[in-house]
Amino acid sequence: MRPSVKPEQPLWQEQCRALLRGPAWPERPFLIEGLSHQSLHTLAAGLYWHLHNQVGEGSIILASEDKSLCAAALLSALAGGPPLLLPYSLSPQALAALQAAGGCNQVLAGEELELPQGLHRISLPQGGSSPASPPLPQTPAKGVVLNLFTGGSTGAPQLWSKTAANLFGEALFIAGHHGIQVQDRIAATIAPYHIYGLLYSILLPLVSGAAVLGQTPAFPEEMVSSVREQEISIFISVPAHYRSLAGKSCAPSRLRLAFSSAGMLDAADNQAFFAANKTGIVEVYGSTETGGIACRNRFQGEEHFTVLPPIDWQMSRDERLMVCSPFLSPELPLDAAGYFHTADRVAALDDARFSLLGRADLVVKVAGKRVDLEMVKRLLQAQPGVREVVVLALPEGGSRENRIAAILTTKGPDMLAINTLRQELSRHLEPYALPRVIKVVDEIPVRANGKYDREAILALLDS
């Protein structure tokens, strides 16, 4: 573990000023489909002044998968325009929840999006700005530029704020650390209103000059054809999508880098992708509130996570990972030395590497006894025929006690014998730690951001 010294802040301000003055690659495409970096900058200037006159300084909800609109709105916020609120989903329910949490009723969205009652659509400027219209202000905003509304696979939704230093500092680090250049072409299977999609499919092209695919392919055939036909060199996806690819080959292609985040990538899915495409997957570990913390590429011999250079880290007495990072959301509580204590338990291997042991907050009380949900999951995952598992603690009778439930998928068409699973688990677990409910399903529900959909899982368990 490294000494207790705060990491230096990235030199992001001057690079952001240059970005606000205009792109260094004006004629290079921002969207593979044709929109140039210069045209995007013009669109951002028009949007900034339109919002300045129509909205003022209040926050607005950005509810769109249109990457050009998202990038223009982000440049507008960087220049001091209205801060953005990003939903975890574009469903009416998620937008209504964001309205309640953020106290905002103005939405920047395409006409095709259905808005719940009480939200008002902001009209978009027609045709961007003319050459005579004012340029973007060139002083980057120092405060919060956006808030991300997380769906919460383990708890209630929450708003996390991000400053320009958080977002653009991390994007500039990613571009430099992984050598992303103007010649690269990026495809992402995750929407840009999720922090992972925002960083890698909006901010990364902005700061590197790379081009990004405007579409967001969702089906395996679309992903494969997009990589192949659009000459994609950087592929951004999530564990659920890598699993759906099932070793499908994108060859012949220019693919040189693949990234995965928003959950742990199964080693078998990683191996299948590498075998089919001869490209290792960079697994990024972090969260909305912390930003990226560490990464690994198993096919470069990296079985454990290596902490990213801008980040200082330590391990607490209860094995929790502690990080001091320029990417942390401002509202996160820090200790006296400037460290945020995460909910993840780790084992330190050396000064730069650690292995994940599971979440500290996944230890719950059942019948007054402690139960490690991660251990229950590992035991289920190890059983023959089991492919994917989610283990939850459900409140019991309105008290602080819980009952354990598990939902899982199988590796083949053969039905699993639930009684056999219970008997095997009983060899390793005390009776109070055994799942009271075990349900086998065809697919475990996930949200658009690639994380498990807790509400849909609970509905399946109730059924």
Task: Convert the pLDDT of each residue in 65-82 to its tens digit.
Answer: 999 999 999 999 999 999
Among 224-238, 313-327, 426-440, name the most confident range. Answer: 224-238
Helices (H) and strands (E) in the chain, counts: 13, 22
- Going by C-alpha positions, the residue among 375, 355, 368 that lies closest to residue 434 is 375
Q: What does the pLDDT average to over 426-447?
A: 87
**d(C-alpha 443, C-alpha 137), whole Å:** 48
Residue 101: the pLDDT is 87
Residue 458 predicted with pLDDT over 90: no
Distances (CA, A) of 40 to 26, 35, 183, 185: 9, 7, 18, 17
Q: How far out from the chain centre does Cα 35 lie?
A: 25
Q: What does the block give as tokens for 266?
A: 């199964």
Helix (H, G, I), strand (E, B) or coil at 185: strand
* Cα distances (Å, whole numbers) of residue 88 to 27, 121, 169, 445, 454: 33, 18, 23, 15, 13
Q: How many CB atoms lie within 10 A of CB 401?
A: 16
* pLDDT of the residue at 373: 85
Once rounded to an integer, what is the mean pLDDT over residues 416-421?
A: 82
Tokens of 401: 């006690």
Backbone angles phi, psi at 425, to 5 degrees: -65, -35
Phi first, then psi: give them for residue 254, nearest 5 degrees. -95, 10
Q: What is the pLDDT of residue 148?
A: 94
pTM value? 0.80
| Integer Cα distance of 336 and 333 in angstroms | 10
Question: Quick one: pLDDT band at residue 19, thresholds 50, 70, 90?
Answer: very high
What mean pLDDT is predicted for residues 233-244? 93
**DSSP label at residue 124:** P
